[in-house]
Amino acid sequence: MRAVIAGAGIAGLVAARQLGLAGWQVDVLERGPGPREDGYMMDFFGPGVHAAQEIGLYDTLAAVAYRVVAAAYVDARGRETARLDYARFSRLAGGDVLSLLRPDMEEALRREAGLVPGVRLHYGVRASGVDEQSGRVFVNTGEPGHSFTADVLIGADGLHSAVRQAVFGPEQRYLRDLGMRAAAYIVHEPRLNELIGGRFLLTDSLGCTAACYGLRDGRVAALLVYRPAPGDPQQVRERLRARCAGLGELPDRLLALCPADPYDDVVAQVVMPRCVSGRTVLLGDAGGAVSLLAGQGGSLAVAGAARLAGLLGPLRQTERIPSALADFEQRWRPTVDSAQAAGRRAAANFLPQTRTRLLMRRWVLRAAGLPLVDRIIARQISAQIAR
């Protein structure tokens, strides 16, 4: 049995490892020239933790996780306005919460996939065309004489998926813009790293939220989420400085250190009526992005990949692949729908549009330590991640 996976991100690497362990031959096509070095922090919890434990990846991920003491909102003077201890957040979320830097997580998963015979990773290769005939999928890379044939194609190539474009149609049919953009980069700044300590710092602000983590070796990971406006500069660094300056000494210092062309993309969801067409299936953000502000993208990528591979892996007859893909869609779709609904609420809370909503968020975080409110929040989080 043979699979082609487009995308060497979290979902693609987990699916490749699991299918390889089941005896499949797997080619992973990554359009980038090499592993990504930049990225943002993610809280990994809920279904992703459970799936990682079941497939033997939890210890690998825990080994590269960061210990975060608290998420703290600060005003322009650097004073805390609200705080949520991560120990409490972990309990509210129903168990383990791992704070993972996306490139660290991908590197760990890449090592795991590389240990499995039959898994091959190809960089600088894009799945630009797809054709299905007689139970086989033919993947064209746009290079003469360089194509792949498989029993199933898994599109795990992210928010702007080439596989989705080729098989399901134009991106604008499915991309739901949440009205924000997000930029992320990593800088070496020991002084700021020491100031941040073990906290996840966020600005308690309107228009733009600047967030940062202290990393190993004196580095700092920055995430800036903002609402674009007509007339914004085209160059990313200048746009960030125009939209996010004046939030405080620490974010202003991060803006001063911003590279010329950091990661910057729309905050959006991918909403589709189906993620399966013939022998092609979309996985992770490609078929159900919840937005990076939802806090569940990495978790859903691991859980979805584990579930898909669990259904495909045991197969030894290619005729059974379509029914396995249909089974996956039926089982997985409610989880994605629920997470996307939660993601839309999370996006609105992450970057409030009015001072009233900002004050409400501040009150909720302050009240989270009260026993009754604690239980209410716990029920809400549990309901969101249990599906």
Position 358 confidence tier, pLDDT thresholds 50, 70, 90: confident
Across the range 142-156, mean pLDDT stands at 90
What global pTM score does this model have? 0.92
Residue labelled with tokens 């060497």: 8
Determine the distance from the C-alpha atom of residue 89 to the mean position of all C-alpha atoms in its chain, rounded to a whole number: 19
Question: Could you report the per-residue pLDDT of 18-47, keeping only the tens digit for each?
Answer: 999 999 999 999 999 999 888 888 889 889
Which of 39-43, 132-136, 308-312 shows the lowest per-residue confidence on average (mean pLDDT)? 39-43
pLDDT at residue 383 is higher than 70: no
d(C-alpha 369, C-alpha 237), whole Å:
38
Share of the chain above pLDDT 70, in %: 93
Cα–Cα distance for residue pair 207/168, rounded to 1 Å: 35
Question: Does position 376 have pLDDT exceeding 50, yes or no?
Answer: no
Q: Which range has the worst mean pLDDT, 82-96, 138-152, 184-198? A: 82-96
> Are the CB atoms for 118 and 26 separated by under 8 Å?
yes
Q: What would the two tokens of residue 210 be? A: 């600047």
Six-digit token string for 42? 């993610």
- Looking at residue 87, its pLDDT comes to 77
All residues at 6 or more sequence positions from 67 whose CB lies less than 8 Å from its CB, including other chains: 99, 198
Query: How confident is the model over 207-240, as pLDDT tens digits?
Result: 899 999 999 999 999 999 999 988 899 999 999 9
pLDDT of residue 63: 96
pLDDT of residue 43: 87
Average pLDDT, the chain: 90
The answer, yes or no, to whether residue 162 has pLDDT greater than 80, is yes
- The burial class, CB within 10 Å (0-12 / 13-18 / 19+), for 260 is exposed
Tell me the pLDDT band of 364, cut-offs 50, 70 and 90. confident
Residue 370 pLDDT grade (very low, low, confident, very high; cuts 50, 70, 90): very low
- Is there a contact between 103 and 138 (Cβ–Cβ < 8 Å)? no
Residue 359: pLDDT over 90: no
Report the Cα–Cα distance between both ends of the chain, in Å, rounded.
31
Q: Is the per-residue pLDDT at 145 higher than 90?
A: no
Q: Residue 111, Cβ neighbours under 10 Å: how many?
A: 12
Confidence of residue 143 (pLDDT cuts 50, 70, 90): confident
| Mean pLDDT of the 361-370 span | 71
Question: How many helices (H) does the chain have, and how many strands (E)?
Answer: 14, 18
Q: Is residue 197 over pLDDT 50?
A: yes
Determine how β-strand 146-150 pairs with β-strand 199-203: unpaired
| Integer-rounded Cα radius of gyration of the chain | 21
User: Is 174 or 92 the better-scoring residue by pLDDT?
Assistant: 174
Span 258-266, average pLDDT: 94
Distances (CA, A) of 219 to 191, 211, 252, 340: 9, 14, 16, 32
pLDDT at 106 (0 to 100): 97
CA-nearest of 376, 297, 379 to 340 is 297
Q: Which residue type, as a one-letter code, is found at position 328?
A: F
The predicted pLDDT at position 93 comes to 61
**How many Å apart are CA 89 and CA 99, to the nearest integer?**
12
**Selecting from 3.40.50.10470, 3.30.530.20, 3.50.50.60, 3.40.50.150, what CATH number does the domain 2-36+105-175+270-349 have?**
3.50.50.60
Report whether pLDDT(284) > 70.
yes
Mean pLDDT of 141-163: 92
pLDDT of residue 386: 38
Structure token digits, residue 221:
């990971």
Tokens 């022998």 belong to residue: 279
Out of 285-299, 318-332, 367-381, the most confident range is 318-332
